Amino acid sequence: MRELKTKSCEEIMTTLYKSTVFAVEGLISQGLYILAGSPKVGKSWLALELCLAISKGEKLLDRPTRQGSALYFCLEDSWQRIQSRLYELTDEPSEKLHFALKADTIGDGLCEQIVKFKSEHDDLRLVVIDTLQMVRSETDSSYGNDYAELIPLKSLAEQLDISIVLVHHLRKATDSDPFNMISGSTGLNGCVDGMLVLKKDKRCGGQAVLYATGRDIEDCELSLTRQGARWVLTDEREDKPPDTFVFAVHDLMVERCSFKGSATEFCSFLKEKYGGEYFANRLTRNMFHHAYELRDLGVTFEVKRSNGQRLLLIGYDKNSDSSDGKNLMPEQAHTADPTVTECSGNAEISSLSVEGDGSNTSISTDPVPPPAVPDDEADDPEYVLINGKRVPVVRMSFEDIVLRSAARLRQKIYE
């Protein structure tokens, strides 16, 4: 009998674990995935687009990718067909994209082939196997056999910190749940970390929907249109407001240098400085979620219990801060006086130094107020019509223009 190893809830919730790394943001993380579709629906084209995007660090379906080497097992194609498809998609070859026409089966050499390739290409990010059926050795498609057959690939993806995508087919029988249409037993669905199903309403049509689900991604449906050889996103993605949590914590700690207290107390400081909503029951979770980003900005923390109370200990070290102690929050988010105290020397800093021709030029980090309207113009302002609306004309000095431009530039850098 193997020794039973356990961890307490408290230990798990206060331990910093490696964050999830995405090959395609919000769509494919490290792990084992299935990309399924009906024959000739265009799933291999999408798989090739995926490999090109990863190898070049370009977006896929308007989503950022993490650049690295990609290995594509084209087990049903020829070199001539691969060449033809590549020229349909790009004019610029990628040195980080590699192809193979043959592979061993799962459990009989495939994993070893991938490990060897990884040893030769340390930045390996993605492996696509097209198709799954070509590397299977089991003929019995029971739940247990399907699950057990994919375990080696799932373990390999975790071991190498890569994404493995298995291109697979759908069965002909329709189902209200597209994931139930994946050929084989539900053992395949249960083993993998995520599933993508490309489904057309009409075989000859150029419209499709990509359904996605997984352990580390949110369920989503992406409407796609075929433009030439490419699949293009037709959804109007909702623009979410930027997550400024990391910036808020960093800028506050640049002022405070250290903090010891409850999550509720820390949230009250954030609210006082920036307004908005900060919730104590989410604070610790967000700190762990962004722990590596905070550490890169010189902010470290730990959670302890004292007299039955859960305390948050946060520290700041400017020498470890990649931003060199500069305010990172957007200008409009600052509601308090941005004058700060430097942790290493307790010197008051109210400006950002700008290196240029050697002069001690500085740009104020205070939000730039609108230029004052002269008294003789306040009662009778000038107006212009913009989109049918009367907009007052405000005259500005050259200095005002420079300051406002600097504020907009900092906002652009943040975005």
Tens-digit pLDDT profile for residues 65-79: 999 999 999 999 999
Q: Which helix (H) or strand (E) holds 147?
A: helix 143-160
Percent of the chain with pLDDT over 90: 54
- Would you put residue 340 in left (φ > 0), alpha (ψ -120 to 50) or beta? beta
pLDDT classification of 408: cutoffs 50, 70, 90? low
**Number of continuous H segments (helices) and E segments (strands) in the chain:** 12, 20
10 Å Cβ neighbour count for 403?
A: 19
- Which of 194-203, 217-226, 274-283, 399-408 is the least confident region? 399-408
- Which of 73-87, 116-130, 166-180, 327-341 is the least confident region? 327-341
- Which of 64-68, 127-131, 348-352, 371-375 is the least confident region? 348-352
Helix crossing, 43-56 with 79-89: angle to 10°? 70
Higher pLDDT: 84 or 309? It is 84
Contact 66, 104 (CB under 8 A): no
pLDDT digits (tens, 9 = 90+) for 264-298: 999 999 998 888 888 888 888 899 888 888 999 99
Nearest alpha carbon to residue 198 among 169, 174, 173: 169
State the Cα–Cα distance between residues 56 and 327, nearest whole angstrom.
Answer: 32
Listing DSSP states for 236-251 in one string gives ----PPP--HHHHHHH
The letter for the amino acid at 143 is Y
Question: Cα Rg for the chain, rounded, in angstroms?
Answer: 27
Residues sharing a CB contact under 8 Å with residue 215, sequence separation 6 or more, in sequence order: 31, 193, 194
State the Cα–Cα distance between residues 222 and 237, nearest whole angstrom.
Answer: 9
Helix crossing, 263-274 with 280-289: angle to 10°? 90
Residue showing tokens 């759908």: 170
Nearest alpha carbon to residue 117 among 104, 132, 133: 104
Nearest alpha carbon to residue 233 among 260, 256, 259, 212: 212
Contact 307, 249 (CB under 8 A): no
The letter for the amino acid at 353 is S
The per-residue pLDDT for 327 is 87
* 309-321, strands of its sheet edge to edge: 258-261, 309-321, 297-306
State the Cα–Cα distance between residues 194 and 180, nearest whole angstrom.
Answer: 13
The per-residue pLDDT for 123 is 96
Percent of the chain with pLDDT over 70: 78
Its sign, for the CA torsion 135, 138, 143, 147, is negative
Nearest alpha carbon to residue 285 among 301, 269, 271: 301
Helix crossing, 245-256 with 263-274: angle to 10°? 100
State the Cα–Cα distance between residues 95 and 104, nearest whole angstrom.
Answer: 24
Calculate the alpha carbon distances from 34 to 129, 153, 163 in Å: 10, 12, 11
Task: Quote the pTM value.
Answer: 0.71
Q: Which helix (H) or strand (E) holds 288?
A: helix 280-289
Higher pLDDT: 245 or 408? It is 245
State the Cα–Cα distance between residues 16 and 301, nearest whole angstrom.
Answer: 10
